[in-house]
Structure 1
Amino acid sequence: MNITTTINGTTARIHTCGEIDFDTLPPLLAAADALPPQVTDLQWDLTGTPFMDVAGLHLLFTPPTTGPQRRTTVTGLHAQPLWLLLTAAETNPAVFDLARLLPGVPPARFRLAAS
């Protein structure tokens, strides 16, 4: 797993290259934890991540226990990571609310139920 962090003012972009699983989760969490406190927006750039297992859900949806709370978004989703996010959101939309990760997606409470 290669991780590149770019900081521009109060926004950080963490670009991942490789699969996200429980072996690669600790360095990804460490990269987010190492961000300076003035960073209020974190964007995970997954253009180099073709596969993500449930560890990716932990990475994207578990709030940090220390440090500042940050607005988190995701970009560059490949088919499999997107499928995982959509499946998790369909299973439990209150926990896996894609509206906070993906700009333009309405909150679960505003989406029409499937017929």
Structure 2
Amino acid sequence: MNSITTLNGTTATITVRSDIDFDTLSPLRAAADALPAHVTHLLWDLNHTFFMDVAGLHLLFAPTPPDRQGRHTTVTGLRPQPLRLLRLAAEANPATFNLDHLLCDAPATV
């Protein structure tokens, strides 16, 4: 698994260069948890992520720790399969998997 974290003021971008699955979940969570406290916006760049299983749902929809309550998370660069997974999850349980603020550039239909 390869990821790159960049900081720009109060925004952090984590660019993932692998699939998101059980094996990559812990290192990706660790990368997000290691961000400085002043980061208020986390952008997951998934341009190089062609596959995501349920671990991606755990990553993107995990409860926010108390010290990160104000952090806003969005996703960019979703490939067809990860986007389909997110939309299926939202369709099955819209209250848990609310995509309104997560998707910043996803196409309207797949």
Shared fold (TM-score, shorter chain, > 0.5): yes
Give the letter aligned to residue 45 of structure 2: D
Q: Which runs of 5+ in 2 are unaligned?
A: none
Q: Report the counterpart of residue 100 of structure 2 in structure 1.
A: 99
Q: Report the CA distance between 1:63 and its aligned residue.
A: 2.1
CA distance in 2, matches of 1:47, 1:103: 13
Matching of residues 7-18 of structure 1 within 5 Å: 7-18=7-18
**What letter corresponds to residue 48 of structure 1 in structure 2?**
H
Q: When the two structures are aligned, how many residues end up with a matched partner?
A: 105
2-structure distance, mates of 1:66, 1:21: 25
Which has the larger Rg?
1
Match of 2:57 in 1: 57
- 1:68-87 matches, cutoff 5 A: 68-69=68-69, 70-87=71-88
Q: Deviations over 1:5-58 (max 9, x none)?
A: 000000000000011001100000000000000000000000010000000000
TM-score (norm 1): 0.87
Q: Which runs of 5+ in 1 are unaligned?
A: 106-115
Aligned-pair identity in percent equals 64
TM-score (norm 2): 0.90
Change (3 A) 1:18 1:45: same
For 1:77 and 1:99, how far apart are their aligned partners in 2? Answer: 15
